[in-house]
A and B are shown apart, each in its own frame.
Chain A
């Protein structure tokens, strides 16, 4: 099943363009952000310093999460357009198998993104941080990277659900953007803070906290949001809900 998904993915040029764009943009942003001046000081020192390097990096990477999300939407909606999901059922796949296949693709995309962050972080950690050794750089990596992986898994799971629901790439992409940028924010207006912190995008965003959040917290007081560690089970629960909904849709609808 991994082999079959790789057979579809590896020759797909668009996939490579998007994935390399993700890695390239991340590297360029990290390199560029080091030169930004804040209050007369180069941001570089604060950006690359351990142990904050990884948190800063995953925060920057989260801005590019939409790229793998778009790719996943295209990969899923293409299969509706080409009617290859239908053909795979005819050929003897079960509907549950189709869902698991796409979950596997999602895991591959998360793996690519985490690996990209790891490589970019290791490079800038070794070359720009003061007195950095490889073990020292890597030792600080696991927790921020796992939080980031959970965040991207959540985003991609929502993207997959919208792709399965809408079946056409452009409307599904628009729906994702609308939800992330508009709809959930509207919902938050009507919900008390104690509840809206469990909404998917809000909980996911917490997983890669802004490097400036601590400063803001001291100025504005605690925000009432979840702590990153608390947001992990919430993110995983949402991912599970999204995949179960996708499976339900695929099981009950005609292909």
Chain B
């Protein structure tokens, strides 16, 4: 797969902070690419540089394999951070201005308004719109001219549950039409449900990137404990000798938790400890939630 967007060693420094640090990633054509990270992790800054509104301190961006130009941006529909409209103009008048800039056919305005269900209110000034309606209008603006690529930064901001479900279906439909979608979100659930690929950002740095199944694969954790009178160090020492016990973390009361290397079961662990003369008083496995996995990705720093 060729890359739609390549970001190479991107750094953005402000006077006091470094918003993005040496970030490299590549968005494959046809993917739904999730940019995942907590608030302030550099998602919007990265997209702002990619879309030409911010200047990078260093590093490069390439769209469609070439240096970014205004013309390349017209092939991308984007909603960045907040919906940006003239409050005194109507929804339709605002879309006309966007369509002019994108050189999109005026006919696509009606289609876009229908898609976001604002056709009935297109002649009202945007000033009176709720955040959710402005967000839907911004989505409509991004859809004008049927761009090959959509960049959606927190597209479900301000939407009600129905609206969130609608956006998810819209993303899935656009993806099925073969378009590439870049979705920035702090909502893991959102990314997990629609994305094929994801990159995890934290404090401006890339923590993980790849197909969603790979980076967000939840590994189960095993919890174990010896009898209460045993020396807490005994268990830790014994586990150090078990090669497939990874990421061992002591817990209160002499207990500890760990992750198993692929291909090994809790029974293997029990057998290995018994072979060292230790009998467990407690052994349980915990289904790791993606939430935990995500938190761990951004905390391992």
Contact = CB atoms under 8 A, between A and B. Distances in A.
A123 interface: no
A91 B53 CA distance: 11
A130 interface: no
Given A7-B93, A7-B100, A92 B88 contact: no
A254 to B, nearest CB: 5
B: interface residue count bin: 20 to 34
Contact of A86 (B53, B55, B73, B88): B53
B102 A91 contact: yes
B97 A8 contact: yes
Contacts of B251: none
A12 B88 contact: yes
B101 A91 contact: yes
A90 B88 contact: no
Contacts of B89: 7-8, 11
Nearest to B45: A254
A88 B88 contact: no
Interface string A76-91: 0010001110111111
A93 interface: yes
A194 interface: no
Nearest to A79: B86
Interface in B25-74: 48, 51-55, 70-71, 73-74
A89 B97 contact: no
Nearest to B14: A254
Interface in B128-165: 141
Interface in A70-122: 78, 82-84, 86-94, 97
B98 A254 contact: no
Contacts of A3: 100
Contact of A92 (B84, B85, B101): B101
A255 interface: yes
Interface string B71-83: 1011010101010
Interface in A123-137: none
B54 A254 contact: yes
Contacts of B70: 89, 92-94, 97
A90 B73 contact: yes
Contacts of A87: 80, 84-85, 98, 141
Say what secondary structure dominates the interface of chain A: helix
A91 B83 CA distance: 13
A252 interface: yes
B253 interface: no
Given A82-B85, A82-B86, A7 B97 contact: yes
A: interface residue count bin: 20 to 34
A11 B89 CA distance: 7
A41 interface: no
B178 interface: no
A4 interface: yes
Given A8-B97, A11-B93, A94-B70, A89 B86 contact: no
Interface in B86-126: 86-89, 93, 96-98, 100-103
Contacts of A97: 70
A13 B125 CA distance: 13
Contact of A4 (B51, B54, B100): B100
Contacts of A252: 55
A92 B71 contact: yes
Contact of B84 (A1, A12, A84): A84
Interface in A34-62: none
Contacts of A7: 89, 93, 96-97, 100
Contacts of A86: 53, 80, 84
A127 B87 CA distance: 44
Nearest to A13: B88
- Select the residue from A3, A89, A97, A252 with max chain B CB neighbours within 10 A: A89
Given A90-B73, A92-B71, A92-B74, A255 B97 contact: no
Contacts of B74: 91-92
A4 to B, nearest CB: 4
A90 B86 contact: no
A4 B53 contact: no
Contacts of B52: 89-90
A12 to B, nearest CB: 6
Interface of B: 48, 51-55, 70-71, 73-74, 76, 78, 80, 82, 84-89, 93, 96-98, 100-103, 141
28 contacts: A3-B100, A4-B100, A7-B89, A7-B96, A7-B97, A11-B88, A12-B88, A13-B88, A82-B85, A82-B86, A82-B87, A83-B82, A84-B84, A84-B86, A86-B80, A87-B80, A87-B141, A88-B101, A89-B73, A90-B73, A91-B73, A91-B101, A91-B141, A92-B70, A92-B102, A92-B103, A93-B101, A254-B53
Interface of A: 1, 3-4, 7-8, 11-13, 78, 82-84, 86-94, 97, 252-255
Given A83-B82, A92-B74, 14 more contacts: A4-B101, A7-B100, A8-B89, A13-B88, A84-B86, A84-B97, A86-B80, A87-B80, A88-B101, A89-B53, A90-B78, A92-B76, A92-B103, A255-B53
